[in-house]
Amino acid sequence: MTPTPTATPTPSASAQTGVVTITASQLSESKNAQGEVVVSVNGAVTELLLPGNAAELLGRAPLRVVMQDLSVTIPATVLAELSKLISAEALAKSTISLRLKPVADNTAVDLLARASALAGAQLRAKSDLREWSLSIFTQNDQSFSLRQFAEPIMISYKVGADVDRSLLGIYFIEDVGKLEYMSSTWTNGYLSAAVSHFSKYVVLEVDKTFKDLKSDHWAYLAVKQLAVKQLVQGVAADRFDPNRAVTRAEFTAMLVRALGLKGQAEPGFADVPADKWYAEAVGLAKQAGVINGQTASQFEPEAKISRQEMAAMLARAYAYAKSKVSVASRNISAFNDIGYAPQWAQEAISEVYRLGLMQGRAEGQFAPNQNGTRAESAQMILNLLSVME
């Protein structure tokens, strides 16, 4: 559940030096309506200190700390996992440290410049670039940290109103400048993301353009917005090739990224070797019931995908996401070429057209057997995301 950072938190603490100590009594306070223990902090914060037995004090309640320009929600399970890194004897006199230290200005500028060059995009920071870490310290100053969290920690940034939300996202940035988009959602003026590890995070406005996709192209905005979320990529740093046909593997990978499917899964097809770039995506999509093979053993990943096949995959992706958004009814009788498609395709086309996931190619024409293009696939993925929100 996405936190609501604007809820009135109690009790409060002050950050005179940037370091705030949250006491045992504060962690034992009654929960709010969302079942969270909420602490409000005034002033700029670079470190939060908690008792080593914070998980025990919280019970099962998550801890949400609301600060000047951001908030963080830590599940009690993560704090419990951290406390297990030291002995029960050491735990009694230990301290948990959550550090969120702003990166020095010159270092941040250099790092964002490297990231901009690697991404081939204009980047504008809309928050401080912070180095996050979560550790537990014993009385003799030994420290232990978690590489991965068993349950995600939610970080939320307060962002001004004068921004283009469709171009904003929370990003993890590596020291070499490589960016990784963290699936971000908006709630009450805050941009939030669930993270499974700590490092450097920042809110970025990303402006990615391609020389062969001008601003008057019908798919221009769709591609730009999906590039922010790293759901589409160019065929080169400055070229998108919007009219090129899409393969079955490429469209599968886009759907997997859009649905946020993760984990490990066997490809399950004889023509999808485990060392191919699309093997993981095909396995995850098959596991989720989003794709079928052309036969029981053949997926034909390199084959160009038809629009009726795209319709079938989109319909299954929507069913997997189980969106509760109501949509207006639309009738495929608007197309006069649907009768040439097989029954399974007619059903899929009817569903995705009703949902607004796909349009016709021309008046009265759906073109079910024609190959889908990269531009069309981008618009379809954006449509899918919009009904999943």
- pLDDT beyond 80 at 331: no
97-116 average pLDDT score: 96
Helical residues (DSSP H) of the chain, grouped into ranges: 24-27, 54-58, 76-83, 88-91, 105-119, 220-228, 248-259, 279-287, 307-321, 343-355, 374-388
Instruction: Name residue 67's amino acid.
Output: M
Distance CA 180, CA 172 (A): 5
The H or E element that residue 47 is part of is strand 47-51
Residue 324 has pLDDT above 80, yes or no: no
Contact (CB, 8 A) for 171 and 201: yes
Residues 262 and 388 sit within 8 Å (Cβ to Cβ): no
Q: How far is CA 231 from the centre of its chain?
A: 10
Q: Write down the pLDDT at residue 3.
A: 40
Convert the pLDDT of each residue in 12-58 to its tens digit. Answer: 555 557 999 999 999 987 777 788 999 999 888 999 999 999 999 99
pLDDT in the model for residue 373: 97
pLDDT in tens, 137-178: 999 989 999 989 989 999 999 998 788 999 999 999 999 999
Report the C-alpha gap between 248 and 4 in whole angstroms: 40
**247-279 pLDDT, tens per residue?**
999 999 999 999 989 888 999 999 999 999 999
